Amino acid sequence: MPARVRRSRRANRDTDTYAHKRARRAWLAKVAANPGGICCVRCGRPLYPGMLVDLDHTDDRRGYLGLSCRSCNRRDGQRKTTAILKAKGWQPTARQLAAIRAKAWRQAGAATPANRRQPPRW
């Protein structure tokens, strides 16, 4: 196996990833300085130090909207991906449909083997 080529720190600074990390650190510093004062750009809930947050991109991915809850950011990304796939004619497989139905079943509060009340044992 060939040896791994290591990149210099200067080469890493020239990448887009470095710029993203630097911008994220700046936003997180704002949250640390003013806890509860910065809100999620998607849902509007306050962000606190220690929360799982993402630096959210604009739709054209050329800039940043700001910090958003990790769940909000990733849900929006999945929504966009699903819309693209459906536009291309994608259909979920039988296994995916079963998982979707099971999730809807659990969210509706239906009795499943895990949460079904067991009769008392005498």
Contact 84, 92 (CB under 8 A): no
Whether residue 78 is contained in a domain is answered as yes
Residues 29-38: contacts with CB within 8 Å, 24+ apart? 31/67, 38/66, 38/67
Domain of residue 48, residue span: 9-107
**Neighbour tally for 25: CB within 10 Å:** 10
46-60 per-position pLDDT tens digit: 998 888 999 998 888
pTM above 0.75, yes or no: no
Whether residue 94 is contained in a domain is answered as yes
- Report how many domains make up the chain: 1
**Neighbour tally for 92: CB within 10 Å:** 13
15-39 per-position pLDDT tens digit: 667 888 889 999 989 888 987 888 9
SS3 121: coil
